[in-house]
Amino acid sequence: RFVLLDTRQFREEQPCDDAVGTDLGPRCDQTATTTMLGDAQEAWFDEVATGHDAVWTTVVQQVVVHQWRIVPGNVLW
């Protein structure tokens, strides 16, 4: 069983500014209550994730999860 999430089209407005430049300080509204999925998709996911008899559920999404390193001199290629 596969569950595909859409974290781009139905997400709520991002609480963070674009990270441009070398200042990596706080850029997010720390009081924001937004979610990456949005309220409707999050409710749908809660229902889909719990209402089944499948042994395995694979959740597919397009957000890259990896270690993020800052290389001296901004050499990132």
pLDDT digits (tens, 9 = 90+) for 31-53: 667 777 888 888 888 888 887 88
Assign 3-class secondary structure to 8-62. CCCCCCCCECCCCCCCCCCCECCCCCCCCCCHHHHHHHHHHHHCCCCCCCEEECC
- The answer to whether the pTM exceeds 0.75 is no
Per-residue pLDDT tens digits for 2-23: 888 887 777 777 667 666 666 6
Residue 67 tokens, joined: 């270690």
